[in-house]
Amino acid sequence: MSEETQAKPPTITPLRVVVALCLIAPFVAMLWVSSYAKTEPAFIGMPFFYWYQMAWVLISTALTMVAYKLWQRDQRARKEGASK
């Protein structure tokens, strides 16, 4: 048999669920337009519509970084578990 058929199927762990949520949250926030399609409250003279989207640029960056670090931790744990 080839190596592909002998490999274990991917398992769903709480860590992987957190990674998925970190990556999905920005999409949900940006695709739910009715939640931010308004002008008030303004921040430094900018309507809510604009500063909300700009805030999500920073939030998305942070969430992607967290997801990447968690994914690395998960891969190290799987590699160590496979070698035992």
Q: What is the pLDDT of residue 25?
A: 96
Q: What is the pLDDT of residue 5?
A: 56
Total-model pTM: 0.79
Return d(Cα 44, Cα 8) in angstroms, integer: 53
Q: Please compute the mean of the pLDDT values over residues 67-71 and round it to a whole number.
A: 96
- Residue 5, CA distances (Å) to 8, 10, 11, 57 in order: 8, 12, 15, 40
Question: What's the token pair of residue 16?
Answer: 């992987």
DSSP category for residue 35: G
Give the residue extent of every domain in the chain.
12-83
Each residue's pLDDT tens digit, 35-68: 888 889 988 899 999 999 999 999 999 999 999 9
Q: 2-38 burial string, b = 16+ CB within 10 Å, else e?
A: eeeeeeeeeeeeeeeeebeebbeebeebeeeeeebee
